[in-house]
Amino acid sequence: MRERWIKQQAADLGFQDCGISRAERLDQEARHLEEWLHRGHHGHMSYMERYFDKRVDPSRLVPGAKSVISLSYNYFPEEQAQREDAPKIARYAYGRDYHKVLKTRLRDLWNRLTEEYGEISGRYFVDSGPVLERAWAERGGIGWRGKNTLLIHPRQGSYFFLAVIICDLDLVADEPLTDHCGRCRRCIDACPTGALSESANILDASKCISYLTIELREDIPREFSDKMEDWMYGCDICQEVCPWNRFATPHTEPDFAPRKHVTEMSADDWHDLEEMNFEQIAAGTALMRAGYEGIRRNLNFVRPREDHS
């Protein structure tokens, strides 16, 4: 059975879960994306406005596509690795950049697929193309879309990365999971910037701390000066309060092990850091996405030097 073999190969390569869905146009998601963009919830992420048709129609990326293979990869650390007096960094950024790690695993899985089934038409993505990874993973049964808009699995929580393979293999699709958020609204109540919608599973990214500290290239608006809760890069608040993450188990990926020269730095260490040293410390990590100037901007916004002199 093709599906079972593919899932076994994915597990052998370290993927936490694997789900399959039909490669068809995402009509409902297209309407939601259009409305989300119209409301300006994407902030300055203008790239979200490009390649709309490719985002919602996999056949625009892979002509003749029949299946989408969605994969998850655990990154939950064994413990909170940072010093208590340090400005906070999202857990996913403790170790090596996940794009680099997952791209290698995906390439290996793709090679196994072509060795087993011959010439296949397809492409694979790790948060690097016009693909709605969460929508495909949700359809493939990897999780349901929580009120924090992240994918949640009832036995794994939400601390995982997503990747997809779009291909012309004709595979049997998995069933989606049922939404189990119920009346819980802990993530909505905990979000200090009000980025999560009261009425629907919608994120106003322009208010999200992760967006403000990573995607935004301009100055962080002063209206958020007392709402950042010490996050210097990314944010985990809506995951930390989610009851389903009590089932999250530590990852076993050596590349995601916390880099001590990142996690052991104090606020003063970050303030004293020069660009050359930053590039040595952050090389190969997700911190490079913000860059030296971005990290300094974030640090000065959440932990001004005078507070820790």
Per-domain boundaries in the chain: 2-80+91-167, 186-308
pLDDT score recorded for residue 262: 87
Distance CA 306, CA 172 (A): 60
- What single letter denotes the amino acid at residue 242? C
pLDDT score recorded for residue 308: 45
pLDDT score recorded for residue 268: 94
Helices 98-117, 2-12: axis angle to 10 degrees equals: 140
Query: Which tokens hold the place of 178?
Result: 């049922």
Distance CA 101, CA 272 (A): 30
Helices 275-282, 291-302: axis angle to 10 degrees equals: 100
Q: Do 272 and 179 form a contact (C-beta atoms < 8 A)?
A: no
The CA–CA distances, whole Å, from 266 to 116, 237, 299 equal 50, 21, 11
Distance CA 94, CA 287 (A): 9
Distance CA 186, CA 243 (A): 8
Distance CA 68, CA 66 (A): 7
pLDDT score recorded for residue 199: 79
User: Three-class SS of residue 119?
Assistant: coil
Question: For residue 303, what are the β-bridge partners?
Answer: none
**SS percent in the chain: helix, strand, coil, step 5:** 45, 15, 45
Q: Residues, the chain, total?
A: 309
Distance CA 142, CA 42 (A): 25
Residues ≥6 apart with Cβ < 8 Å to 122: 62, 65, 110, 113, 165, 166, 167, 168, 169
The pTM assigned to this predicted structure is: 0.95
Percent of all residues in the chain with a pLDDT value above 70, rounded to a whole number: 99
Q: Which residues form the catalytic set?
A: 127
pLDDT below 70 — which residues of the chain? 306-309
pLDDT score recorded for residue 202: 95
Distance CA 230, CA 223 (A): 15
Q: Do 29 and 135 form a contact (C-beta atoms < 8 A)?
A: yes
Which segments within 66-213 are labelled E, that is strand? Answer: 67-74, 88-89, 122-125, 144-145, 151-152, 160-167
pLDDT score recorded for residue 83: 86
Residues ≥6 apart with Cβ < 8 Å to 266: 83, 85, 86
pLDDT score recorded for residue 82: 85
Distance CA 230, CA 298 (A): 9
